[in-house]
Amino acid sequence: MRGIYSTLTDIRRKVFKEVALLAYEGGDYSRTEELPYKIIPGEVANYRESVFLERAIVGERLRLAIGLPLRPADEHALISNGIIESAISEKYYDPPLINIIKFACNACPEKKVEVTNMCQGCLAHPCKEVCPKNAVTMVHGKAIIDQEKCIQCGRCVEACAYNAINQMERPCAKACGMDAITSDSLGRAMINQDRCVSCGMCLVNCPFGAIADKGQIFQLIHAIKSGVKVIAIVAPAFVSQFGNDMTPERLKPAMQQLGFSDVFEVALGADLCTIDEAHDFMEKVPESQPFMGTSCCPAWLEMAKKNFPELLGNISMTLTPMVFTARLIKKEQPDCKIAFIGPCTAKKLEASRMDIRSDVDFVLTFEELMGLFEAKEVNSKTIAEETPLADATSDGRGFANAGGVARAVVNVITRIDPDREVDVAHAEGLRECRKMLQLAKAGKYNGYLLEGMACPGGCVGGAGTLQSVSRATANVNKFAAKAKEDNALDSKYSEKLDILD
């Protein structure tokens, strides 16, 4: 539902805005209890059966946005419980990162094949003929499916000439490439945290808004208010995310209105990642390993750890663009704090790892940052354009789109060794990534460079984005074309690679 401003988008945006205002204004945080009434005013429910339920759900969303855990539904607790302890400038995520608000869940059927009233009772009834379990019968001229016999294979769905048979699946489970969504005893969705990689695809695809991730808006603003220098590093997918008027030339002054001292593009770290991975590939494939997978997508890497631990040695250990950029800045400004602004919920999980915490202090999604813009009433139309971000190459900026990482690496290899041919395969979405690694395990991709992206379309399709994948892809390409240099080897930071690893 990226790119569609829905009721859910509106509620989420208001929650992020109010949490930002709470942090900017400070004072007595007990007023947090009033916020659900501000976000959901009046006495009549607009979205659910009860206005009280609507406010209860908003209360949980507020807690998650502040970085607090969900409250137990069977005992009394204030929304503001624990908020004082969270009103600090240093706080990472307490697991789990992705949470289901149980009383917001619709308890959708896990998977079911049903005949709709569009059934024409045709003479051929191919639905019945193709069913391997004889689950389809004709009753009074209409197809009927015996749910006890049905194995949800979908053959009848494909065979029906009238598209009269639907295969319904819980949207969050369908979107989860890790098969981490199950059901609790009441039929509500439940996340198997042992399988979850925090990609956020369930969050994006739940039409009831029952799934949300924890945030660091509150802590980031407290860091800014404390007087410490907070520098924002923005992921390559940022282009056009905040509307047509928020051009790359206006982003830095807009961010400074929020309290950030400076802004850099993470694409410069992508250039360093590209060079490092290119050297890795040239040195190791196929001499010491059969193939190499890229490293920049944390959800893809977590999936490989959980599902293919025996293949981990074939995934590049190169630092991600986020970490390269953060380290580069902190080498020159060791007293600053770094806030990564991007499309990805899994980056929150990456930044919370012990070996990354000293590099990246905060992670916000584009959607969360939009809440800050609204809290501070930043009007992009009135901002004077300044010199745009101009440190990265075209290939570094192309990391945002599916296929862009592998293309950048191949371009570096080709520059170094023009006679070397590199075979490439890439997959979008964790289900496809799993298939790709399964084939690699079977030896089908020996000699290949494999690019895995957890989100459809690449980073532009991340859970924290605001625009449609197609629009974001086109705008990233336009911005990449404006770069002064094309190849990562031409980055002015390339000579600093050795001191950052």
Q: Give domain status of residue 187, yes or no.
A: no
Look at residue 425 and give its three-state secondary structure: strand
33 plus 154 within the same structural domain: no
Residues 66, 125: one domain? Answer: no
* Domain of 84, in residue numbers: 7-90
Domain membership of residue 192 (yes or no) is no
Let me know if residue 247 belongs to a domain.
yes
Q: Give pLDDT tens digits for 255-272.
A: 999 999 999 999 999 999
Domain count, the chain: 3
The count of C-alpha atoms lying within 13 angstroms of the C-alpha of 466, restricted to the half-sphere facing its C-beta, is 21
What pLDDT is recorded for position 496? 78
Which helix (H) or strand (E) segment holds residue 19: the answer is helix 7-25
Report the alpha-carbon distance of residue 467 to residue 113 in Å, rounded. 32
pLDDT of residue 54: 97
97 within a domain of the structure (yes/no): no
Which pLDDT score, from 0 to 100, does residue 89 have? Answer: 79
Whole-number pLDDT of residue 500: 67
According to DSSP, residue 148 is labeled T
pLDDT one-digit tens code per residue, 285-339: 999 999 999 999 999 999 999 999 999 999 999 999 999 999 999 999 999 999 9
Whole-number pLDDT of residue 87? 83
In this structure, is residue 177 part of a structural domain?
Answer: no
Instruction: Identify whether 286 is preceded by a cis peptide bond (ω within 30 of 0).
Output: yes
Which DSSP symbol is given to 112? E
- Shared domain for 124 and 162, answered yes or no, is yes
Do both 368 and 448 map to the same domain?
yes
Q: Are 251 and 345 contained in the same domain?
A: yes
Please tell me the predicted confidence (pLDDT) of residue 501: 64
Residue 225 in domain: yes
CA angle (314 as vertex; 310, 315 as ends), nearest 5: 105
If asked whether residues 138 and 268 sit together in one domain, one would say no
234 with 155, same domain: the answer is no
C-alpha span between 177 and 89 (Å, rounded): 34
Alpha-carbon distances of 77 from 56, 72, 332, rounded to whole Å: 11, 8, 45
Percent of the chain with pLDDT over 70: 99
| Domain presence at residue 103 | no
As a whole number of angstroms, the distance between CA 393 and CA 383 comes to 26
Are 316 and 446 in the same domain?
yes
Q: Which of 72-76, 122-126, 445-449, 495-499 is the least confident region?
A: 495-499
Does one domain contain both 229 and 314? yes
CATH of the domain at 148: 3.30.70.20
CA 181 to chain centre: 17
State whether 119 and 158 are in the same domain: yes
Same domain, 233 and 378: yes
115-129 residues labelled b (16+ CB within 10 A) or e (exposed)? beeebeeeeebbbbe
Tell me the pLDDT of the chain averaged across its residues.
95
What CATH number corresponds to the domain at position 235?
A: 3.40.950.10
Pair 140, 286 in one domain? no
196 inside domain: no
Last residue of some domain: 55, 90, 125? Answer: 90
As a whole number of angstroms, the distance between CA 323 and CA 342 comes to 13
Backbone angles phi, psi at 362, to 5 degrees: -140, 150
